[in-house]
Structure 1
Amino acid sequence: MIRVRRGEPYSVDLLTAKAAKEAAEKAISAAHTTCTDANSQRRAEVERCLAESGTGGIAQNDLTDLV
């Protein structure tokens, strides 16, 4: 149901489930490609912490907290 007052503009955007699924898949793929998805960001953060830890490494608890 769309309620509109006389003289006021309105617009309706319809989106099918198939189109919404395709758009979501494209967004996920683009995020993965540009490394902006959550898994890529976590991986980069773990790699950064490991690189900064030097020869001493990183404690398992710290790594768990990081992830």
Structure 2
Amino acid sequence: MGTGDKGDEGGEGDEGDEEEITDYQLPITDYPLPMPNAQCPMPHAPCPMPNSPCPIPHSPNLFTLVIAKY
């Protein structure tokens, strides 16, 4: 019966992986166009201040991809 318990735990682990992927896709949806990023005077990874000229917070990885593509 101990094996059955481990099987249940394994199932929960799989669900945790799916949550990470969904969380990663959320910021991607916030970047429909690279134009808003051009308004940023200086490249910053995470926007800790809401006063920044950027209308939407962007992650360092996504921001770097936009700059390279721009």
TM-score range, shorter chain: 0.3 to 0.5
Normalized per residue, the structure richer in helix is 1
Could you tell me the TM-score, scaled by structure 2's length? 0.35
* Greater RCO structure (CA 8 Å; 6+ sep): 2
Could you tell me the TM-score, scaled by structure 1's length? 0.36
